[in-house]
């Protein structure tokens, strides 16, 4: 069956910024880098609901702050003072701001989920009966194994596999991409998603998902965060933060006996303020938002991660396995050069090459006609006189194409096939042709020999070089990955000579030639045995075992159901190069978490200089030397530290949602940059912030 439209299987890729903006306009989603104060206000009700202790207990650091806020509030109610009221208010603000960070991150996901819910439409399906007849039923009544008919203009009622036919499908409701795609039975492009629209032809779809468990339903639950689980690194960091909190709690408790021995007992309110300022509240407040935002950044790029674990693993990937065709190269070999023999001019070869390709409807044949038109001034259209000739189409049996016109026979094809044809017509192939053919093959190209039969004698004009063109900037992207310590491996079914040439041009570290499914599995296992994490892409049923074995398996949405079930991420755009972006997003997630952890711990240093001298300067006047900020009074110093501790959470929410800007670099370079910017910045910022807040507090009667 022939489709009325002929779109590419893979949508045209725009520059990342344009693509994200266009996608946001079409889907109503908020770009991951965007942030506005309006989001804070809209998320405030959710933040207030999260003050429930049952929610707070899930975050040990902020639960301690919550308990401290309750304790100070009770003490303030018993013996109110301006200082105690201010401390109580700002402790509650600290808890509220932490909830706000999480609520804003979740709110972005809920906005996306709301769009997806609007996209879902109740459909009536044309279910096939066993006798071949049709029965109209509501889409919600479909069950796994049901077969439905969908024709042009109709919505696909559920997720499934095409078992009959071929059609163009509009997937813009899910992907935001307007270019329709081809879906067909019997291949790696047979999977369809419920809610998308068939634009042409007729297909029969076998349903593969239960009602409520479709791809869109799973997307809704994931982007809302309902199925988000903490990742191993996040759990480990939570344990570390909890341990630090316990250590500081014991240290603060131990201060009171020492203070009593010195004759200056501290109030519970002051000790609570000290504890809240010393524990890592900043990263404790933002940790959940960082994880949710990482998932959100993937969704904004049309990648659906089945778990946060997959996103985190992407950031730790050591080896990337990439298919050559469609990922590193465009996939269709294109004519890039005409190489004439010494006694045959290049213009004569161009005329012959064009004539021999007029009947060749393969992408390679069309590229030869295009090259002759663009570079040698020949027409790309078939002239009336040429239409009178007898076209010889390219077939897998003859491996040649051409035309018989005005007593001339022109042929183009594989070297061995053309050599046989020339010999049958009394000609011979010069040795130079063999040398050119061998050189092109060694360079990773495909040689096509061009010959002509005139006056009963056949002769060769030259050779056409077909090249599997490497996509632009791939070498730069692989160099960036190498700088991060990631090893790239190209997988191809080509022979080793061609594979080596393409690998050298693309700049990958290694290649696997003549690869079979079991070879991919063996390669992944060898890499993993060395302690490395492996990521790969795939879309076919034969890729499923390797996708399941890989630590990060990115499946194309256009692929088979088996492949999508095996992988732990699904790329809605079906763009194999997206794997590189996925790794960068994973790296950004880990870098953001590390940077804000560094900033949070470094913050404590300034708070020591603010609170500890204020608490004990009356007993030990020598501590006044540590009051480098020259804070006005002990109460203003303590309150300034508490206020800064709350405000810095709000100030860092945009960074937690947007993520720290990622630049490819080695682990040591990233560590140095992290310490310089967020370590040093985490020390300097509180000094300035607490000093400014103290100046303002001095103006408040009863405190300053």
Q: What's the pLDDT score for residue 620? A: 67
Structure-token pair, residue 674 = 């992290």
What is the Cα–Cα distance from 652 to 603, expressed in whole angstroms?
A: 13
Cα gap 32→42, rounded to integer Å: 17
pLDDT at 648: 93
The count of other CB atoms within 10 Å of the CB of residue 374 is 10
E strands, 427-475, where? Answer: 446-454, 457-467
Q: Which residues of the chain are under the pLDDT cut of 70? A: 1-37, 108-122, 173-179, 187-188, 219-231, 262-263, 326, 331-332, 342-344, 396, 615-620, 623, 702-704
**pTM for the structure as a whole:** 0.68
551 and 534 in contact (C-beta within 8 Å)? Answer: yes
Are 703 and 86 in contact by the 8 Å Cβ rule? The answer is yes
- HEC string of 590-604 equals HHHHHHHHHHHHHHH
101, 102, 105, 111 alpha-carbon torsion, rounded to 10°: -120
- What pLDDT was estimated at residue 8? 40
- Helix 578-616, helix 308-315: angle, nearest 10: 90
State residue 27's pLDDT score: 43
Cβ–Cβ under 8 Å, residues 311 and 589:
yes
Residues tagged active-site: 323
| 397 annotated to a ligand binding site | yes
Closest CA to 83 of 638, 623, 696: 638
**Closest Cα to residue 482, out of 462, 445, 510, 502?**
510
Query: In this predicted structure, what is the pLDDT of residue 31?
Result: 47
3-state secondary structure 593-634: HHHHHHHHHHHHHHHHHHHHHHHHCCCCHHHHHHCCCCCCCH
**Residue 432, C-beta contacts closer than 8 angstroms, at least 6 positions apart:** 341, 342
Q: Is there a binding annotation on residue 9?
A: no
Burial (CB count within 10 angstroms: exposed 0-12, middle 13-18, buried 19+), residue 83: buried
Contact 494, 324 (CB under 8 A): yes
Q: Is 394 annotated for ligand binding?
A: yes
Here the tokens at position 533 are 């994490």
Instruction: Please check if 159 is assigned to a binding site.
Output: no
Residue 543 marked ligand-binding: yes
Distance CA 619, CA 38 (A): 48
Burial of residue 279 (number of CB atoms within 10 Å: 0-12, 13-18, 19+): buried
Secondary structure of residue 576 in the 3-state scheme: coil
Q: From 335, 334, 340, select the one nearest 352 (Cα to Cα).
A: 340
Are 216 and 238 spatial neighbours (Cβ–Cβ below 8 Å)? no
pLDDT of residue 70: 96
Q: Any idea which residue has 């071929």 for tokens?
A: 166
Does 494 belong to an annotated binding site? Answer: no
Q: SS3 breakdown of the chain: % helix, strand, coil, rounded to 5?
A: 55, 15, 30
Helix, coil or strand: residue 644? helix
Contact present, 275 and 281 (Cβ < 8 Å): no
> What pairs with residue 303 in β-bridges?
571
Backbone angles phi, psi at 211, to 5 degrees: -60, 135
**Is 401 marked as a binding-site residue?**
yes
Please tell me the predicted confidence (pLDDT) of residue 12: 39
Separation of alpha carbons 513 and 500, rounded Å: 8
Annotated binding residue 396 = yes
User: Is 217 assigned to a binding site?
Assistant: no
Angle, in degrees to the nearest 10, between helices 680-697 and 634-658: 130
The model's pLDDT over 572-622, given as tens digits with 9 standing for 90+, comes to 777 777 888 888 888 888 899 999 999 998 887 777 777 777 766 666 677
Q: How far apart are CA 205 and CA 185, in angstroms?
A: 9
Q: Does 400 belong to an annotated binding site?
A: yes
**CA dist., res. 334 & res. 363, Å (int):** 7
| Three-state secondary-structure class, residue 492 | coil
On whether 210 is known to bind a ligand per the annotation, the reply is no
Compute how many other C-beta atoms are within 10 angstroms of the C-beta atom of residue 373.
15
End-to-end CA distance of the chain: 83
Q: Which residues of 107-139 are buried (b: 16+ CB within 10 A; e: fewer)?
A: bbbbbbbebbeebeeebebbbbeeeeeeeeeeb
Structure tokens that stand for 390 in this block: 């007898």
φ, ψ (nearest 5 deg) of residue 267: -75, 155
Distance separating alpha carbons of residues 454 and 165, to the nearest angstrom: 46
């Amino acid at each position: 069956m022939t489709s009325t439209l002929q779109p590419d299987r893979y949508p045209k890729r725009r520059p990342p910024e344009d693509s994200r903006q266009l996608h946001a306009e079409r889907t109503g989603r908020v770009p991951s880098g965007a942030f506005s104060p309006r989001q804070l206000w809209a998320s405030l009700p959710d933040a207030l609901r999260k003050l429930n202790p049952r929610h707070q207990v899930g975050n040990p650091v902020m639960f301690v702050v919550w308990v401290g806020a309750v304790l100070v509030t009770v003490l303030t109610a018993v013996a109110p003072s301006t200082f105690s009221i201010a401390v109580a208010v700002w402790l509650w603000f600290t808890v509220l701001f932490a909830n706000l960070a999480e609520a804003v991150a979740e709110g972005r996901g809920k906005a996306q989920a709301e769009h997806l819910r609007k996209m879902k439409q109740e459909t009536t399906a044309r279910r096939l009966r066993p006798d071949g007849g049709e029965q109209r039923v509501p889409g919600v009544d479909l069950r796994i194994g049901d077969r439905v008919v969908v024709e042009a203009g109709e919505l696909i009622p559920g997720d499934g596999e095409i078992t009959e036919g071929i059609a163009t499908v509009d997937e813009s409701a899910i992907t935001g991409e307007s270019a329709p795609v081809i879906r067909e039975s019997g291949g790696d492009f047979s999977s369809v998603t419920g809610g998308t629209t068939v634009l042409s032809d007729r297909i029969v779809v076998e349903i593969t998902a239960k009602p409520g468990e479709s791809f869109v339903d799973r997307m809704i639950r994931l982007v809302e965060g309902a199925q988000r689980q903490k990742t191993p690194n996040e759990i480990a960091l939570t344990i570390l933060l909890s341990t630090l909190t316990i250590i500081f709690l014991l240290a603060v408790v131990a201060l009171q006996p020492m203070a009593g021995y010195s004759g200056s007992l501290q109030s519970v309110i002051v000790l609570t303020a000290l504890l809240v300022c010393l524990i890592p509240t900043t990263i404790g407040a933002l940790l959940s938002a960082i994880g949710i935002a990482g998932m959100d950044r993937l969704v904004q790029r049309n990648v659906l991660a089945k778990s946060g674990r997959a996103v985190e693993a992407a950031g730790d990937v050591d080896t990337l396995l990439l298919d050559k065709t469609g990922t590193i190269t465009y996939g269709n070999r294109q004519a890039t050069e005409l190489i004439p023999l010494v006694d045959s001019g290049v213009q004569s070869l161009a005329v012959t090459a064009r004539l021999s390709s007029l009947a060749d409807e393969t992408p390679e044949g069309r590229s030869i006609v295009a090259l002759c038109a663009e570079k040698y001034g020949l027409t790309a259209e078939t002239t009336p006189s040429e239409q009178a000739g007898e076209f010889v189409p390219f077939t897998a049996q003859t491996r040649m194409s051409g035309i018989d016109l005005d007593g001339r026979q022109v042929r183009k094809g594989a070297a061995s096939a053309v050599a046989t044809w020339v010999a049958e017509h009394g000609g011979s192939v010069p040795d130079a042709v063999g040398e050119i053919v061998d050189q092109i093959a060694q360079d990773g190209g495909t040689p096509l020999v061009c010959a002509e039969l005139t006056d009963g004698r056949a002769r060769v004009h030259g050779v056409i070089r077909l090249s599997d063109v490497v996509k632009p900037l791939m070498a730069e992207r692989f160099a960036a990955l190498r700088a991060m310590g990631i090893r790239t491996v190209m997988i191809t079914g080509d022979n080793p000579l061609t594979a080596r040439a393409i690998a050298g041009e693309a700049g990958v570290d290694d290649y696997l030639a003549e690869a079979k499914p079991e070879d991919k599995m063996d390669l992944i296992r060898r890499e993993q045995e060395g302690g490395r994490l492996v990521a790969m892409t795939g879309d076919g049923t034969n890729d499923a075992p390797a996708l399941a074995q890989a630590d990060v398996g990115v499946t194309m949405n256009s692929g088979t159901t088996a492949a999508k079930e095996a992988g732990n991420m699904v790329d809605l755009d079906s763009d194999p190069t997206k794997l590189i972006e996925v790794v960068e997003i994973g790296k950004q997630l880990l870098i953001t978490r590390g940077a804000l952890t560094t900033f949070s711990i470094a913050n404590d240093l300034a708070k020591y200089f603010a609170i500890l001298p204020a608490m004990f300067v009356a007993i030990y006047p020598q501590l006044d030397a540590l009051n480098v900020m020259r804070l006005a009074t002990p109460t203003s110093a303590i309150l300034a530290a508490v206020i800064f501790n709350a405000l810095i959470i709000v100030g860092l929410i945009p960074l937690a949602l947007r993520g720290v800007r990622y630049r490819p670099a080695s682990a040591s370079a990233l560590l140095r940059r992290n310490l310089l910017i967020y370590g040093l910045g985490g020390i300097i910022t509180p000094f300035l912030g607490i000093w400014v807040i103290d100046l303002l507090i001095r103006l408040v009667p009863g405190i300053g």
